[in-house]
Structure 1
Amino acid sequence: MRDSIKEIIEDSFDLHVHSAPSHVKRSIDDIDLIKKASTYKMAGILIKNHYEPTSGRAELINEHFDFHTRAYGGVVLNTTVGGINPYACESAFKMGAKIVWLPTRDAKNSLMYGNMKGDFFEREGLSVIDNDGNLTSSFKEVVEVVKKYDATLATGHISLEESLKVCDYAIREKVKVVLTHPDWNRTKIPTDIQIELGEKGVFIEKVWANLDDGDCTTDEFLSVMNRLDFNNIFITTDRGYYRKKPPFESLVDCIEFLIEKGVDNKSIKKMLKSTPEFIVKGV
């Protein structure tokens, strides 16, 4: 590994990793994930599970192992936690969660494309807007809980229409908000809209898996970064699926790609260190 990559990885974050235990077969479990990240002195990994909160899992790792890397958790507002449920948010935040995702696999928008691998029951799609196109009261209650804990709201797999309403509302309420993998096929957001949202203060998640899997072009991946001067952009791998490269190796691939495309170390560090640190720690 190049010295420059080692320097970039040290104190970096990956805020979107899927590890076991999981309903879907994974390439690595929670403990080995944080252990490996610690070998390279990463600052933090946020464990994501579509069907259960991960804050308790992160707490156990942090309490029982002296790893350099801190584990973080969150909650996804899918049907298994009651959908768009402020009580599920309150519970997860009391256990140390840092991010709440709006519905992912159970989002009405996502289910329009069919089930994803590992889905195990039929269900109605969830939405944050009502039949009149207005944000629901339960969503607004969720935002109040996120604000109470100075946590972060993420859009999940909701539609473009919902994402725009959610981001505008969160900004007005002074809540940190993430546009979740806008380069993925089910949640594709045009680059000009990504830029507009980033300029308003929305954090734009650029996911290596989306480029690596061919869901977006190199230009779609890089142009938003360049247009926003690498502000309000953070990089994640969204890796952990057993047939793909493990998360850490994927992160190295992403950094190598960025360096080869001429992105300077300072900008890469901003996307992997200072911005994600603010998202989970507020500093």
Structure 2
Amino acid sequence: MNTSTVAAASGTDLDPVVESLVKGAIDLHCHSGPSVMARYLDHLEAMREASEAGLKAVLLKDHYYSATPVTYLLNKHFSNLGVLMLSGVPLNNSVGGLNVHAVEHGIKLGARLVWMPTFSSANHIDHHKQDHKFTEKFPQTKKKMIDPVPLTVLDANGRLKEEVKDILDLIAEADVVLSGGHLHISEMWPLFEEARKRGVKRLLVNHPTYVVDATLDDMKVLARDGVYMEHSMCMWVPGSKFKFYEPEFLRQIIEAGTVDRTILGSDLGQQGNPRIVDGFRHVIRTCLDLGYSEEEVRKMTSTNASALMGI
């Protein structure tokens, strides 16, 4: 699909400055399918959409399984599309929770990231119970699933579980990324402290203001400690079911976490939401309108993610 076709499809004239920044962008939060959650595109279609817009890399995230075998096939058979496809290991109930064997297997297959529990985390489940509108704020499965078993990285005494330490050792040895998943920020402090002690160098917090409950002050400390913070474009894009925030709040969290430690990922792919590439277009324009330079926007949409992932 050429540029004029994309413009016609979206009903807008494409901004050349925005398009230049979309080219080479990296999305570390793509929710394509197949999935038990409703998605508007599959993994190959995500690769093609990214290729048409000139994205450099896309990381596929499914809460139930690692898409690493899929990314291997995509990179091998569709290298002509010019997009590096990545994935990781989500430590939810479907892979046995805090399962060192799932991590070892995933890394040996080529996984580049390990997510601590997301929707299976006790923190995520608590948010679900406390907020009667939570089902409107988080994608639901197409069919009812067995209720999740709540997972936490801490034992009854507030200490990091031994199985988590074994997982951290594997992450450190392979030099892949550790994401805090949907743990509460209070769980991430001891997790990241132990991770550093064991040699983990690549640390990430996904959507720190959503479910994780990190404050602006927390983000300042995370940035000081070298942690990257990824903010979800879907929370700012018009037409998104998960548009919770206004541009001024984006400025606040970027300033708290610094341009050098901020990553903007789409967190899109859900059925009924805007296209992934259009999420990038809108949030890039928003950042430019907030006064960030093209170089700063490039950091937040490409080079910071590249540094974190080692690509």
TM-score by length of 2: 0.86
Contact map agreement 1:130 1:136 (CA 8 A) in 2: yes
Shift of 1:228: 4.5
2:286 is aligned to 257
Letter matched to residue 268 of structure 1: V
Tell me the alpha carbon deviations over residues 70-123 of structure 1, each in whole angstroms, 9 at most, x when there is no partner: 111111000111101111111111111111100001001111123751161113
Single out whichever of 220-229 and 54-63 deviates more from structure 2: 220-229
1:98 is aligned to 112
2:10 is aligned to none
Letter matched to residue 95 of structure 1: L
Shift of 1:217: 4.5
Provide the secondary structure at the position in 2 that maps to 1:72. strand
Letter matched to residue 86 of structure 1: V
Q: 1:24 to 1:228 in 2, by over 3 A?
A: closer
Shift of 1:191: 0.9
Q: Distance in 1 between matches of 2:214 and 2:248?
A: 14
Q: Please, which runs of 5 or more residues in structure 2 have no aligned partner?
A: 1-13, 129-134
Tell me the alpha carbon deviations over residues 34-74 of structure 1, each in whole angstroms, 9 at most, x when there is no partner: 11111122110000000011111111111111211111111
Match for residue 302 of structure 2 among 265, 273, 281: 273
Letter matched to residue 9 of structure 1: V
Q: Please, which runs of 5 or more residues in structure 1 have no aligned partner?
A: none
Q: Distance in 2 between matches of 1:68 and 1:50?
A: 26
Contact map agreement 2:222 2:257 (CA 8 A) in 1: no
- Give the 5 Å matches for 1:1-283: 1-65=14-78, 66-114=80-128, 117-118=140-141, 120-175=145-200, 176-184=202-210, 186-212=211-237, 213-281=242-310
Q: Distance in 2 between matches of 1:94 and 1:174?
A: 19
Q: 1:269 to 1:12 in 2, by over 3 A?
A: same
Q: Distance in 2 between matches of 1:106 and 1:227?
A: 28
Contact map agreement 1:28 1:246 (CA 8 A) in 2: no
Provide the secondary structure at the position in 2 that maps to 1:231. helix
Contact map agreement 1:102 1:157 (CA 8 A) in 2: yes
The percent identity for this pair of structures is 22
Provide the secondary structure at the position in 2 that maps to 1:157. coil
Q: Distance in 1 between matches of 2:172 and 2:219?
A: 23
TM-score by length of 1: 0.94
Q: Distance in 2 between matches of 1:261 and 1:231?
A: 17
Q: Distance in 2 between matches of 1:51 and 1:58?
A: 16
Provide the secondary structure at the position in 2 that maps to 1:49. coil
Q: Distance in 2 between matches of 1:191 and 1:214?
A: 19
- Equivalenced residues, count: 281
Q: Distance in 2 between matches of 1:121 and 1:58?
A: 28
Contact map agreement 2:66 2:89 (CA 8 A) in 1: yes
Provide the secondary structure at the position in 1 that maps to 2:81. coil
How large is the RMSD of aligned CA atoms in angstroms?
1.6
